[in-house]
Amino acid sequence: MKEILDRITGLDALVIGDIMLDHYIWGDATRISPEAPVPVVDISCDTYSAGGAANVAANIRSLGASAEIWGWIGKDEAGKSLLRMFASKGIEFRKNIFLTSVPTIQKTRIMVQHQQLCRLDREPASSLRELDVTAKLKPLLKSVRKHDVIIFSDYAKGFLNNAIVARITKEARAAGKLVALDPKPTRRLKFDRLDLMTPNRREALQLAGIRPQPHNNFPAEDVCMAIWNQFHPVHLVVTMGEEGMLLSKKGKVMHVIPTVAREVYDVSGAGDTIIAALSLALAAGSDLVHAAHFANTAAGIVVGKVGTATASPLEILAYTPRQ
């Protein structure tokens, strides 16, 4: 772990995708409303954290690498909160290019006694689709050449499109950069031969075009081969929740790594941690198995925290997984 962390500190990563603000409302509920059969939440405080692609960048910085992020945020209070976060974490963001009149995507979670009661989403997705992202390709392509790792963080909110993915991937390959994608199959973006893909269990089934069968085991071999035949990723890592991580190359199941989480309080943003840690470890020269163990440890730390979180080098080095 220490060797990987030491090599990561010299890397520069570029995250491209859907930036969000995660808003948490913390409180307690001890009574039912007289107006409707719903709990009344007495609010104690509000907290904010980076979400979506911004959480990928936050995890990159927490692990010790440099991070730049490209995506839309609005000229609103949520956008201002994100700008302050970027500045405090040392994440580079070109606000002169991507600060727009479109409202910032925001997810508000109501937390009662550390349990999520409900989530409220503000998603101007239709407006995002109208924005001409491809007009910003020239400075973005120039930025690609400066980084060691390029991560597409797709939350299906409209920033990424086929033109951006194709042009950036071509530029990154020509410059010898590692390209990774955390996919959202509902978007059906066109991509091929990326260095790393990190779908979760449900997303992997959707990418493979396989319907899940109730009470049946995950069809790992069929899923991995179907994804390979369509997208040809160099490395495929399927996150399986409590079942750990499934590693695949050329459509073959290589390895299954059990989860190391001691306790699971909140899985929000765990996928962001995994793609950040995996991408950095691979770019630092680790093989897939060692990179996956590193990412698995980082994710085990993150899911033990409530809310969107990151893992630090000190936490990783001190972490003792469950037996």
Q: Which residues are catalytic?
A: 272
- In total, the chain counts a number of residues equal to 323
**Number of neighbours of residue 301 by Cβ within 10 angstroms:** 22
Q: For residues 280 and 8, is the Cβ–Cβ distance under 8 A?
A: yes
Start-to-end C-alpha separation, the chain: 18
Question: What's the rounded Cα separation, in Å, for the pair 245 and 261?
Answer: 12
How much is the CA Rg of the chain, to the nearest whole Å? 19
Q: In the structure encoding, which two tokens stand for residue 194, read together?
A: 């990326």
Which structure tokens are listed for 66?
């440099």
User: Rounded to 5 degrees, what are φ and ψ at 29?
Assistant: -130, 110
Cβ atoms within 10 Å of 87's Cβ, excluding its own: 11
Chain centre to alpha carbon of residue 121: 18
Name the DSSP class of 200.
Answer: B
The C-alpha torsion from 143 through 145 and 151 to 152, rounded to 10°, is: 60
